Amino acid sequence: MDNLELETRFADVFNNLLQHKPLIYHMTNMVAISGQAHLALAIGASPVMSLYPGEAAELVAVSDSLLVNIGTPTREGIEAMFVAAREARELGRPALIDPVGYGATNMRTDLVERLLDTKAFGVIKGNGAEISLLGGEGAQVRGVDSADSPRAALAAKTVSRKYNCIAVATGPIDYVSDGRDVFALESGHEWLSLISGSGCYVGTIIAACMAITEPLVAALASLALMGFVAEVAVKKSYGPGSFHCNLFDALFACVRNPSSIVFPKWQILDL
Ligand SMILES: Nc1ncnc2c1ncn2[C@@H]1O[C@H](COP(=O)(O)OP(=O)(O)O)[C@@H](O)[C@H]1O
Ligand SMILES: Cc1ncsc1CCOP(=O)(O)O
Ligand SMILES: [Mg+2]
């Protein structure tokens, strides 16, 4: 698919989001949770957030996609994530995992690997360091932030092959791999890294798009959208606070008028 074909697909995805209002079951962290709920609504999806094991299977059954983000783990939340992951696999629900802080502690590394063992996830979306470490490449993490990840592109391909899913590594350049190709996108703005939760927000957009389209297109569309809206938002902003607000407003406006989006171009890397 060339960029022109992709952009037509992206516009269709956003139009369908508004029409179908998919319900996205978020099992996410206490930092980004309310932002993710607001963002889901802004792009035309419906959010439901819960980390309670006793309703996890039922919520998967009524939702259109599942997002599992391990950012602030708790004993009960982890139990609920396994219930939901197994149910999503059983029912064939689209599911995304955000391995926040993979490699930062042994507990997170072990948890992510056990969740991936459920084989529930069609997309693994992390920052460059998380995906690099999952792919066996060197990287530096500082808590939940990526400090350096020079081999994220290659790692995305490795992760995609190893876990038989779409792998997304975010950063100044985003990489997406389906195990065959590695797509690269340079867009957005460095202020995205000054908003705690910007990676989580990307997860929400991808999970919403996964309810509409195949995981590869969902990932490519979401990152291109985020890159474009960040560039629009920064021009109206004075710092991270107004940028955060303007980002949400730009997302709201763009999904309602996809022809106004100037999609940044994806490159296919020769790896
Ligand atoms: N320096 C940067 N320039 C442009 N976009 C960036 C930059 N850093 C991060 N982003 C974007 O911010 C979003 C979150 O990515 P990232 O900061 O890697 O994730 P996380 O918040 O999970 O650590 C992605 O859309 C990514 O493209
Ligand atoms: C700061 C922080 N600590 C635990 S989860 C979290 C939010 C991480 O959000 P993101 O991965 O989008 O930067
Ligand atoms: Mg993250």
pLDDT in tens, 99-150: 999 999 999 999 999 999 999 999 999 999 999 999 999 888 888 988 878 8
pLDDT in tens, 147-185: 878 899 999 999 999 999 999 999 999 999 999 999 999
The closest of 64, 116, 47, 130 to 86, measured between CA atoms, is 116
For residue 239, what are the contacts with CB-CB under 8 A and spacing of at least 6? 191
| Amino acid present at 150 | P
What is the DSSP code (8-state) at residue 194? G
pLDDT in tens, 259-271: 999 999 999 998 8
Mean pLDDT (the chain) is: 97
The closest of 226, 227, 199, 248 to 96, measured between CA atoms, is 199
Q: CA-to-CA distance for 44 and 256, rounded, in angstroms?
A: 9
Q: CA-to-CA distance for 20 and 1, rounded, in angstroms?
A: 25
For residue 249, what are the contacts with CB-CB under 8 A and spacing of at least 6? 233
For residue 145, what are the contacts with CB-CB under 8 A and spacing of at least 6? 127, 129, 193
Q: CA-to-CA distance for 123 and 98, rounded, in angstroms?
A: 9
Whether 265 has a binding-site annotation, put simply, is no
Q: What angle do CA 135, 138, 144 make, to 5 degrees?
A: 80
Compute CA distances 76 → 83, 142, 149, 204, whole Å: 11, 26, 32, 22
Best residue among 112, 168, 198 to mutate for probing ligand 1, ranked by most atoms within 8 Å of CB: 198
| Amino acid present at 186 | E
pLDDT in tens, 16-74: 999 999 999 999 999 999 999 999 999 999 999 999 999 999 999 999 999 999 999 99
Which domain does 78 fall in, by range? Answer: 3-269
The closest of 202, 257, 248, 194 to 224, measured between CA atoms, is 202
Q: CA-to-CA distance for 245 and 233, rounded, in angstroms?
A: 8
Residue 65: beta bridge partners?
24
Compute, in angstroms, the gap from residue 53 CA to the centroid of ligand 1: 31
Ligand 2, pocket residues at CB < 6 Å: 29, 31-32, 71-72, 100, 144, 196-200
Ligand in nearest proximity to the CA of 193: 1
Q: How many domains does the chain have?
A: 1
The CATH number covering residue 37 comes to 3.40.1190.20
Ligand 1, pocket residues at CB < 6 Å: 127-128, 145-146, 170-172, 174, 188-190, 192-193, 198-199, 202, 223, 226
Q: What angle do CA 239, 228, 121 make, to 5 degrees?
A: 105
In the block, residue with structure tokens 């690269």? 184
pLDDT at 100: 98
Alpha helices in the chain (DSSP H): 3-20, 33-42, 53-62, 75-91, 106-116, 128-134, 152-163, 198-210, 215-235, 240-256
